């Protein structure tokens, strides 16, 4: 037996070990109970995202074989794919404690019973890049467990650990690194004419250049195989996940943007081509009564904004992108947005301009900002502009306090770049009423 890896069975023994270490807990209301350390909790894929993806993987008609996750972490994502596809899972994890928790979680999450597949799931402690060491260990372990044939590999899912400031690092600093990982596993994968089934979970903070590097790796290692880049947002004003779906997992379109609700996809936009970058119109500040639409950043980041917006344009609604490259892109128009746009899940907020100011809301001026909003009939004001993340909740609290008991509509403050007389630009803080 290779001593590069050690195999763990996903059984009651693994679960008892984990229970003695840390009780299983539900990460969010309604989700199954799993064992995790604090670090694993931070790194793990939310159950809602894992199960939603797994449901889409079922439709891919994968070739025969098992699901491989060579950086398995908590095992949550692997278990959700195995459950949905009714496949055997092989997880590999460098960190021994995480691997043991992962084996316990697989046991908890997978269906109980005497199905022969049930005894074939394995978590290996060791390096996910060492494919031959892992396969030799798997083979020996399955054989001694009474499973004569080692299944082929139908799909590889990987969610590498990455430095927090991912943009300042090279792709090689992903753990495990993408290129050697794919080079090691691709020769062992079962493929049909659609190429290998890969789901690469990448950092949503990857720069354009880093995304191009991933494309280069895939062009080289999986030539002529379809791939779909996917930006997923859960509506919190940021991109939550960036992934590439390859081969049988790719769709006809090369790019898609998804807005996830609490447990299911609320909207999806996809296209074979990305639009050009938006050239921001830094014109005059929006006038009183102009309409402001705050858009989910995944639509702009995926550069699917033209496809998306075109479905909402009509004879009277023809907005400009007044802010495109910050966290919350903004559309400005004189005429009201159509109801289809107002109810679109990629829209974060819609309002009409009721006040302007040149300085950002802060701890001192929050009561003044609140009074101006109150005069415009606003009873609850939400900060949707860039302010120091540490101060953000404090300023919001102060606004809430100043407006306590005030009857009125909801409103928000947004920052909008506008051109200055000297040819440069500055930021205008605009209060909008959602009435
Ligand atoms: C982002 S986490 C995966 C989280 C997982 N998707 C989940 O839902 O829990 C990445 C994991 O890869 C592991 N890892 C890093 N380098 C590895 C390597 N060379 N081989 C195996 N695992 C590795 C880390 O210990 C970490 O647990």
Residues with Cβ within 8 Å of residue 310, at least 6 apart in sequence: none
Mean pLDDT in residue range 128-143: 96
Q: Residue holding tokens 């990982």? A: 181
Q: Is the pLDDT of residue 425 over 60?
A: yes
Residue 409 maps to which CATH number?
A: 3.30.2130
* Residue (of 397, 292, 320, 413) closest to 361 by Cα position: 413
Pick from 78-92, 94-108, 154-168, 298-312: least confident: 154-168
Pick from 85-94, 164-173, 398-407: least confident: 164-173
Strands 330-333 and 378-383: unpaired
Q: Same structural domain for residues 176 and 313?
A: no
Residue 379 CA to residue 400 CA, distance in Å, equals: 9
Q: Is the pLDDT of residue 280 over 90?
A: no
For residue 214, what pLDDT band results from cuts at 50, 70 and 90? very high
Mean pLDDT in residue range 3-13: 94
pLDDT of residue 189: 97
pLDDT of residue 400: 97
For residue 170, what pLDDT band results from cuts at 50, 70 and 90? confident
Q: Same structural domain for residues 325 and 259?
A: no
Q: Which has more confidence, 189 or 275?
A: 189
Answer yes or no: is the C-beta of 123 below 6 A from any ligand 1 atom: no
Q: Same structural domain for residues 218 and 316?
A: no
Q: Does some domain include residue 286?
A: no
Q: Is the pLDDT of residue 166 over 60?
A: no
pLDDT tens for 24-76 read 999 888 899 999 998 899 889 999 999 999 999 999 999 999 999 999 999 99
Residue-range definition of the domain harbouring residue 330: 291-433
Q: Which has more confidence, 435 or 163?
A: 435
pTM metric for this prediction: 0.91
Q: Is the pLDDT of residue 279 over 70?
A: no
Q: Same structural domain for residues 194 and 326?
A: no
DSSP for 167-198, please give it: GGS-GGGSBS-HHHHHHHHGGGB--BTTB-EE
Residue 109 maps to which CATH number?
A: 3.40.50.150
Residue 328 CA to residue 188 CA, distance in Å, equals: 43
Mean pLDDT in residue range 200-209: 89
Q: Does some domain include residue 284?
A: no
Pick from 229-233, 291-295, 297-301: least confident: 297-301
Answer yes or no: is the C-beta of 161 below 6 A from any ligand 1 atom: yes
Mean pLDDT in residue range 150-164: 91
Q: Same structural domain for residues 172 and 304?
A: no
Among 69, 93, 103, 130, say which to mutate for ligand 1: greatest number of ligand atoms within 8 Å of CB: 93
Mean pLDDT in residue range 101-108: 96
Q: Does some domain include residue 200?
A: yes
CA 43 to centroid of ligand 1, rounded, Å:
8
pLDDT of residue 326: 61
pLDDT of residue 262: 84
Q: Same structural domain for residues 105 and 246?
A: yes
For residue 168, what pLDDT band results from cuts at 50, 70 and 90? low
Q: Same structural domain for residues 14 and 150?
A: yes
Q: Same structural domain for residues 312 and 423?
A: yes
State both tokens at 112: 């109980």
Residue 56 CA to residue 140 CA, distance in Å, equals: 33
CA 176 to centroid of ligand 1, rounded, Å:
7
Answer yes or no: is the C-beta of 159 below 6 A from any ligand 1 atom: yes
Q: Same structural domain for residues 264 and 340?
A: no
In a 10 Å sphere around its CB, with 0-12 CB exposed, 13-18 middle and 19+ buried, how is residue 405 labelled?
A: exposed
CA 69 to centroid of ligand 1, rounded, Å:
9
Q: Is the pLDDT of residue 107 over 80?
A: yes
CA 161 to centroid of ligand 1, rounded, Å:
6
Q: Same structural domain for residues 246 and 381?
A: no
Q: Is the pLDDT of residue 221 over 80?
A: yes
Q: Does some domain include residue 276?
A: no
Domain boundary among 242, 271, 300: 271
In a 10 Å sphere around its CB, with 0-12 CB exposed, 13-18 middle and 19+ buried, how is residue 342 labelled?
A: middle
Residue 336 CA to residue 200 CA, distance in Å, equals: 40
For residue 136, what pLDDT band results from cuts at 50, 70 and 90? very high
For residue 426, what pLDDT band results from cuts at 50, 70 and 90? confident
Answer yes or no: is the C-beta of 100 below 6 A from any ligand 1 atom: no
Average pLDDT, the chain: 92
For residue 115, what pLDDT band results from cuts at 50, 70 and 90? confident
Q: Same structural domain for residues 305 and 211?
A: no
Q: Does some domain include residue 258?
A: yes
Q: Does some domain include residue 110?
A: yes
Percent of the chain with pLDDT over 90: 76
CA 212 to centroid of ligand 1, rounded, Å:
23
The atom number, within ligand 1, closest to the CA of 128 reads: 20
pLDDT of residue 164: 67
In total, how many domains does the chain have?
Answer: 2
Most confident of 4-8, 304-308, 311-315: 4-8
Mean pLDDT in residue range 106-124: 86
Q: Does some domain include residue 141?
A: yes
Mean pLDDT in residue range 345-353: 95
Q: Is the pLDDT of residue 122 over 80?
A: yes
pLDDT of residue 304: 94
Q: Is the pLDDT of residue 171 over 90?
A: no
What Cα–Cα distance (Å) separates residue 318 from each residue in 153, 163, 310, 346?
50, 41, 10, 18
Q: Same structural domain for residues 244 and 329?
A: no
Q: Does some domain include residue 280?
A: no
């Amino acid at each position: 037996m290779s001593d590069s890896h050690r195999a763990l069975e996903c059984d009651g023994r693994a679960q008892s070990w984990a229970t003695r270490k840390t009780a299983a807990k539900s990460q969010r209301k309604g989700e199954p109970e799993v064992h995790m350390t604090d670090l694993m909790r931070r790194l793990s894929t939310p159950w809602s995202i894992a199960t939603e993806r797994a449901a889409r993987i079922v439709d891919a008609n994968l070739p025969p074989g098992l699901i491989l996750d060579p950086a398995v972490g908590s095992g949550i994502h692997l278990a959700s794919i195995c459950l949905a596809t009714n496949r055997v899972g092989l997880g590999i994890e460098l960190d021994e404690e995480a691997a043991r928790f992962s084996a316990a979680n697989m046991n908890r999450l997978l269906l109980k019973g005497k199905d022969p597949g049930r005894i074939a799931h394995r978590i290996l402690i060791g390096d996910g890049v060492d494919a031959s060491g892992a396969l030799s260990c798997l083979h020996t372990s399955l054989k001694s467990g009474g499973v004569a044939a080692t299944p082929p590999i139908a799909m590889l899912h990987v969610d590498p650990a990455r430095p927090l400031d991912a943009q300042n690092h090279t792709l090689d600093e992903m753990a495990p690194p993408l290129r050697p990982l794919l080079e090691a596993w691709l020769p062992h994968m079962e493929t049909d004419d659609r190429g290998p089934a890969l789901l690469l979970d990448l950092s949503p903070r990857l720069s354009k250049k880093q995304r191009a590097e991933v494309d280069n790796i895939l062009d080289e290692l999986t030539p002529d195989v379809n791939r779909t880049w996917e930006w997923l947002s859960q509506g919190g004003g940021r991109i939550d996940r960036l992934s590439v779906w390859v081969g049988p997992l790719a769709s006809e379109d090369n790019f898609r943007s998804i807005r996830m609700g609490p447990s299911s996809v609320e909207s999806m936009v996809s296209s074979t081509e990305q639009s050009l970058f938006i050239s921001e119109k830094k014109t005059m500040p929006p006038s009183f009564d102009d309409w402001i639409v705050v858009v989910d950043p995944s639509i702009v980041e995926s550069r699917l904004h033209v496809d998306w917006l075109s479905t909402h344009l009509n004879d009277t609604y023809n907005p400009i992108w007044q802010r495109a490259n910050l966290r919350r892109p903004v559309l400005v128009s004189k005429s009201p947005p159509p109801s289809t746009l107002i109810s679109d899940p990629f829209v974060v907020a819609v309002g009409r301009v009721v006040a302007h100011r040149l300085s950002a809301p802060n701890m001192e001026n929050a009561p003044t900002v609140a009074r101006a909003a109150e005069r415009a009939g606003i009873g609850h004001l939400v900060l949707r502009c860039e302010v120091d993340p540490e101060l953000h909740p404090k300023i919001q609290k102060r606004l809430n306090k100043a407006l306590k008991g005030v009857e009125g509509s909801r409103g928000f403050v947004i920052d909008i770049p506008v051109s200055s007389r000297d040819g440069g630009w500055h930021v205008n803080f605009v209060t909008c009423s959602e009435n």
